[in-house]
Structure 1
Amino acid sequence: MPPPGQKPTAKSLMYAFKPLIASLALLAVPVFAAGTPCGDVAPAAPMSLATSLDYALCHQPQTRSAWAQLRAQQAGVDIAQAAYSPDLSASASLSRSQSDDGSGSTSAGANLNLSYLLFDFGQRDAQLAQARALLDASRAGVDDTLASVWIDTVRAYFNVGKAGKQIDAYKAAEEAAKASLDAANKRAAVGTATPLDVLQAKATLAQATLNRTKAQNDLANSKGALAKAMGISPMQLPVLADMPTSLPDLPLAESQLDKLLDAAVRERPEVRSALANLAAADASLKSAQLATRPKLSLSAGLGVNRSWPDSDARSSGTIGLSLSIPFDLSGATKARTVQAEAQRDASAAQLESARQGAENDAWQAFYSLRSALDTLAAAKVVQENAAKAYDAALTRYKAGLDTLLDVLSAQNTLASAEQQQVAARYDWYAARASLAWALGGPLPNQLSQWAPPAAR
């Protein structure tokens, strides 16, 4: 169930993900759709992207903080609404008086007082409007937090996948270097190769081993970043599932770019939060401006008093209207109005900054994805031709038709091409995720399920 006063919307990220956050459900905040309840058990291996996202959204402290802030702001709305209710208070007293001659008396009393603000020229309305606007900002803040956790986890997940596949590529380069060294040793044994060939082949093999060792360190660092993004110990991080080698094409014509930018400005939670904060600042300014207006209140009271030893009991009742007219002799009210005006101007500037930032993020993500797609296609062609060139060079060297330098050059080109292909594929995945995040709106736990707004 959503928190009191919150209406579920398709825009909210909480309805796009599918884990069930049991701990948050106990606190009456929005929960994710059906899935495995959150727990402390580490995800099973191999871990898919969807599983890592579910776990991160369950366990990241930022999400719990965002929900807590949302509950606090809901309480702020309740406080503002309480100003429309009457105030009721009760008091009781007991006293004893003693004179010099030893005589004395005891008296007791009880009073019940009711007060209600009848009219204040809209100041309560402004305060309630401010509280509701801040609640809207808090809701958008929850969406922003979830989006941040989403993109951080996705990027960390792809970095681990890329580092792992690059190790595989370095291992392949190492095997190729071993093959070149073996060929050089065989030719040196029969006197058709020089000792320099063997030394060059050994140096190339050592460099390939060094590259693999560095890549293994990069993988360890990437795993640590993913574990942090998920809120899990690095020791509990399971092996990742393989990513698909291909994903559905996205229609990304430049003619649609204006629609994508509009969607980003409209859907991004930072923009929605800034809009709500501006509305709250407007309401705060109105409240400050109305602080000098009179207030009309109704009050009623009922009292009972009794004294001993004469057992004299008296009761009383009062009802009346009171008009309060504040005078800003100290200038504090005027200063609060100036302060509220400045805060309103700051909120307007923050809204403009959020809009520009959302538009710029979408622009860069759009062209990054197009570039990543072109790079992926080019890297595949480079790798295929480099593999053929290396096979040909090694075959010709074994036949005595090429030098070892030709083989090593082709081998280095192949190793570089394989690294570029791995990087291009994961950069393509990350670029798709970055565009989804930059455009705002519901974020999927499967990239294959996402399409830009213009294609929906």
Structure 2
Amino acid sequence: MVLIAGLAMVGLAACSSSSMKLAPASATTPYKGVAGQAAVNGGSADFGVATDPSMPIVIAAPKLDANHTYSLPELINIAQLSNPVTRAAWQRAREAAAASGAVEATYLPILTADVLAGYAVTSNTVPGIDIGPVTVPSGTVTTSGIQATPALAVKWLLFDFGARDAALASAQQLSFAANVTFNAAHQKLIFDVSNAFFQYSAARSQSRINRDALANSKVVLSASEARLKQGIATTMEVAQAKQQVAQAEFDLTQATGRERNTYHYLLEAMGISPTTTIKVQDVSGRALPRVVPTNLDTLIVASLQRRPDVQAAFARVKANKEGIAAARAEYMPKVAVTGTLNQNVGHYSIDDSRVGTVGSLNVNQPNAAVLVGLSLPLFDGGLRDARMEAAVAQAAASEQEFAQLQNLAAREIVVAYDVLRTSLSGHAAATELVNAAQTNYDAALDYYKNGLGTMADISIAQTGLLKAQYARAQARSDSLSAAATMAFATGQLTNASVP
């Protein structure tokens, strides 16, 4: 037996050593190979990975109407149907619900059925018999035959001092946390799509501004060329006007690139293929939100009580407190009832060497038992104490995490509130700036056309107008994004119609 054990240990050590062949030979050797087989040294410094044609590639590509212009609520609905984030959160909620069901099952008895069957040989040495004239020498009795033992067993835990109750309450709280986290995943998706949508809208507005700036620069170029023909302008002015046109064309190219980037960001937020072509509604004329003065303290309390992430954290606190109760119940006894029912069926041959005869025996024996058991833990080397300390520490940690989350959430609400107010004020100021810059530009252009202004005046006015229009477009986008952020932070971004 010692030799066999030694050989087994050597074999296990050899398996452990050979498993290292699965890894690359060194830190600078590229890996080549397939799962479960030794790595192959390709003899080159190419760290590429072979294509795996068996890997399923699933990128959502919903069927869209090429002639339809999609609004923000419609984009959100598409995202909720296509984005794998929400489906993953749903599966997590189902997993937590199943875990709660598993705990509920511990209240019911456990019934098992077993069948043991096989062939057995036993040999026993028996003493001889010497009774008067009868003398039988010692020898062996060998019994061999086949046997089958079907059995039913039931075990029912009757009383455990609340261990199962605590485990069930904990599982139900965790299931609730997973459910509200599922809602939180939808709220986060709505926010991500809304934010990307408003960024895309701002980029489109900036592209329009640059197209208008290009058109204005071409008007100035035409005016400078007309002035040159009239002899009241110089070739330097025409060259400057052409430079302004070239700069406007470059700015438009840059703005168009940013517009495409925000478009792909929108598709990414929706969770659909980046090659998707979709028409998106223009909301440049959408009314901005109005901020109604409110008590921030009241708003924070109401918001925290309805935010799904805060509710999930609170549910985890309650679940961990139930974990303490479950750990405490491990110190108490358990009462269970056990029942067994089996049938021993077999046929045996009996060979008695003392008399030189072979007999046979058929067995068909039923057995039944019902027992009540009491299990009382006495000593476990400190295992229950360690579990209790771990449960207490986990509950305390979850309480602190819950408090930290409340602080972070409150800060998010206050920051979103301030950003929204600032953005709306910035948009109002930017609108006034655009009106003034437009008046200044129109006047400068008229003066220049009438030979009264200079190219420098036109350039300054045009630059001011462009900056003012950019500022107003950005302030509008910031206001809409801030409104969505405010709704998300207060737990009110709950459906596609809210943004």
Q: Find the aligned partners of 1:244 and 1:401 in 2 and give their Cα distance.
A: 36
Where 1:237 maps in the other structure, the secondary structure is: coil
Structure 1 residues 103 and 371, CA gap change in structure 2 (3 angstroms): closer
Q: Calculate the TM-score normalised by the size of structure 1.
A: 0.85
Whether 1:121 aligns to 2:121 is: no
2:98 matched to which residue of 1?
75
- What is the CA–CA distance in structure 2 between the aligned matches of 1:249 and 1:228, rounded to whole Å? 26
Distance between the aligned counterparts of 2:255 and 2:286, measured in 1? 24
The answer to whether residue 431 in structure 2 is matched with residue 417 in structure 1 is no
Within 5 Å, give how 1:46-445 maps onto structure 2.
Answer: 46-98=69-121, 104-243=144-283, 245-247=285-287, 249-253=289-293, 255-308=294-347, 309-441=360-492, 443-445=494-496
For residues 197 and 143 of structure 1, what CA distance do their matches in structure 2 show? 62
Structure 1 stretch displaced more, 100-109 or 421-430: 100-109
Distance 1:363 1:79 in 2: 42
Alpha-carbon separation, structure 1, partners of 2:438 and 2:430: 12
- Structure 1 range deviating more: 142-151 or 78-87: 142-151
Task: Work out the CA distance in 1 between the residues paired with 2:210 and 2:289.
Answer: 29
CA distance 1:120–1:239, change in 2 (3 Å): same
Closer/same/farther in 2, CA of residues 394 and 333 from structure 1, 3 Å limit: same
Give the corresponding residue for 1:23: none
C-alpha contact (below 8 Å) 1:53/1:150 kept by paired residues: yes
| Count of aligned residue pairs for this structure pair | 410
When residues 187 and 321 of structure 1 are mapped into structure 2, their CA distance, relative to the original with a 3 A threshold, is same
CA distance in 1, matches of 2:291, 2:405: 26
Name the residue aligned to 1:32. Answer: none
Alpha-carbon distance between aligned partners in 2 of 1:43 and 1:260, rounded to the nearest angstrom: 41
Q: What's the CA shift for 1:318?
A: 0.8
Contact 1:180-1:408 at 8 Å conserved across structures: no
Structure 1 distance, partners of 2:195, 2:117, is 70
Range 51-60 or range 374-383, more displaced? 374-383
Distance between the aligned counterparts of 1:372 and 1:444, measured in 2?
24
Find the residue that maps to 1:443 and give its secondary structure: coil
- Structure 2: runs of 5 or more not aligned: 1-59, 124-139, 348-359
Instruction: Tell me the CA shift for residue 301 of structure 1.
Output: 1.3
Question: How far apart, CA to CA, are the structure 1 residues paired with 2:255 and 2:489?
Answer: 30
RMSD over equivalenced CA pairs, Å: 2.0
Whether the 8 Å contact between 1:292 and 1:328 is mirrored in structure 2 is no
For 1:355, give the aligned amino acid.
Q
The equivalent position to 2:63 in structure 1, one of 34, 37, 41, is 41
Q: Secondary structure at the match of 2:117?
A: strand
- Give the 3 Å change call, closer, same or farther, for CA 384–442 of structure 1 in structure 2: closer
Distance 1:199 1:130 in 2: 77
- SS across alignment from 1:445: coil
CA deviation profile, 1:399-455 (whole Å, cap 9, x unmatched): 1222221111111111111112221222221111111111004523234xx7xxxxx
Q: Secondary structure at the match of 2:69?
A: coil
Change (3 A) 1:203 1:39: closer
Unaligned runs of 5+ in 1: 1-37, 451-456
Shift of 1:194: 2.6
Whole-Å Cα distance in 1 between the matches of residues 407 and 237 of structure 2? 59
* Bigger shift: residues 300-309 or 128-137: 300-309
> Which structure features the higher share of strand residues?
2
User: How has the CA–CA distance of structure 1 residues 256 and 103 changed in structure 2, closer, same or farther, with 3 Å as cutoff?
Assistant: closer
CA contact (8 A) 2:193 2:270 kept: yes
- State the distance in 2 between where 1:250 and 1:75 align: 45
Q: C-alpha displacement at 1:248, in angstroms?
A: 6.9
- More displaced, 40-49 or 368-377? 40-49
Q: Measure, in 1, the Cα distance between the counterparts of 2:101 and 2:176.
A: 14
| Superposed displacement of residue 287, structure 1 | 1.3
Separation in 2 of the partners of 1:39 and 1:220? 19
Residues 250, 106 of structure 1: CA spacing in aligned structure 2 closer, same or farther, 3 A cutoff? same
Contact 1:390–1:411 under 8 Å retained in 2: yes
Aligned residues with identical type, % of pairs: 30
Please state how far the C-alpha of 1:107 moved relative to its aligned partner: 2.9
Give the Cα separation in 2 of the matches to 1:248 and 1:219: 22
Which amino acid is 1:274 matched to? A
CA distance in 2, matches of 1:171, 1:147: 36
